[in-house]
Amino acid sequence: MSEPLQFYGLLPSTPEGIREVLSTFRVRSMAEDNLPGWEDRLETRTKLLMSIMRKQNQKRSDCEGNATANGAEAQHQWVNGTIVQYSDTYGYQGSERIMGRTNVGRDSGASMESGVILRVEGIKALAVPPGLPLESDWAYEPYERDVGRFETRAKTAKIQNTFVAESGALPEFSQLLLSLAAGGVGHIGTYWPFKVSDVGGYKCMDSAPTGGGGHATEIIGAIRIGGKWYLTVWNSHGYGAYLMSQRAYEQLQNKQWQPFGGYLIMPDKPVERYHNRIVSGGGYFSPSRGIA
Is the residue at 289 inside a domain?
no
Contacts 24+ apart (CB under 8 A), 250-255: 250/172, 250/173, 251/207, 251/208, 252/188, 252/190, 252/208, 253/170, 253/172, 253/173, 255/208
pLDDT value, residue 119? 97
Q: Is 190 contained in some domain?
A: yes
pLDDT number for residue 167: 92
Q: Specify if 42 maps to a domain.
A: yes
What pLDDT was estimated at residue 1?
39
- The predicted pLDDT at position 91 comes to 98
Question: What pLDDT shows up at residue 286?
Answer: 41
284, part of any domain: no
156 domain-assigned: yes
- Three-state SS sequence of 78-99: HHHCCCCCECHHHHHHHHHHHH
Query: Structural domain tally of the chain?
Result: 1
Cα–Cα distance, 13 to 265 (Å, whole number) = 17
CATH code for position 250: 3.90.70.10
pLDDT by 10-residue block (mean), the chain, 292 residues: 55 87 80 92 96 95 97 95 96 97 96 96 97 98 98 98 92 97 97 96 97 96 98 97 98 96 93 71 39 34
Q: Are strands 185-192 and 213-225 parallel, antiparallel or unpaired?
A: antiparallel
- Residue 112 in domain: yes
What confidence score (pLDDT) does residue 26 get? 76
Asked whether the beta carbons of 152 and 143 are under 8 A apart, the reply is: no
Is residue 55 included in any domain, yes or no? yes
Residue 150 lies in a domain: yes
The parent domain of residue 232 ranges over 15-28+36-269
